[in-house]
Amino acid sequence: MTALIRKLSLSRRGFIAVVLAAALAHPLVAQRLLVPMDDGQQNHLKAYGLTYNAIKAGASAEWLLNYRGGSFLLADTPEIRRQAGLAGITIEPVDNGKLGSIRAEIASSNMEAVPLEKAPKIAVYRPPDELPWDDAVTLALNYAGIEYTSIYDDEVERGDLSKYDWLHLHHEDFTGQLNKFYLSYRDVPWFIDLLQKNTATAKRLGFSNMPALKKDVADKIRDFVQRGGFLFAMCGATETLELALAAKNVDIAQSFIDGTPMDPDADRKMDWSRTLAFRDAHLEQSPFVNSMSDIDGHQVNVPGRRQPLGTFTLFNFSAKFDPVNSMLVQDHRAVINDFFGVTTSFNKAVLKPGVSVLASEEGAPWVKYIHGDYGKGTWTYYGGHDPEDPQHSIGNPPTDLSLFKNSPGYRLILNNVLFPAAKKKPLKT
Where does this chain bind other proteins (CB under 8 A)?
A: 4, 7, 82, 85-88, 132, 134, 139, 142-143, 145, 184-185, 187-188, 190, 301, 303-304, 306, 393-402
Shorter beta-carbon distance to other proteins: residue 11 or 199: 11
CA distance 395 to 270: 34
Distance in Å, CB of 195 to other proteins, minimum = 15
Distance in Å, CB of 132 to other proteins, minimum = 5
CA distance 381 to 92: 33
Shorter beta-carbon distance to other proteins: residue 363 or 395: 395
Distance in Å, CB of 213 to other proteins, minimum = 25
Residues 6+ apart with CB under 8 A from 39: 69, 332
418 backbone φψ class: left, alpha, beta (φ>0; ψ -120 to 50)? alpha
How many whole angstroms from its chain centre is CA 24? 36
3-state secondary structure of 159: coil
Distance in Å, CB of 290 to other proteins, minimum = 8
Shorter beta-carbon distance to other proteins: residue 395 or 426: 395
DSSP strands (E only) in 60-175: 61-65, 71-75, 92-94, 112-116, 122-125, 149-151, 166-169
Q: Which helix (H) or strand (E) holds 32?
A: strand 32-35
Distance in Å, CB of 21 to other proteins, minimum = 18
**DSSP letter assigned to residue 380:** E
Shorter beta-carbon distance to other proteins: residue 179 or 209: 179
Shorter beta-carbon distance to other proteins: residue 354 or 395: 395
Shorter beta-carbon distance to other proteins: residue 51 or 301: 301
CA atoms lying within 13 Å on the CB side of residue 131: 18
Distance in Å, CB of 191 to other proteins, minimum = 9
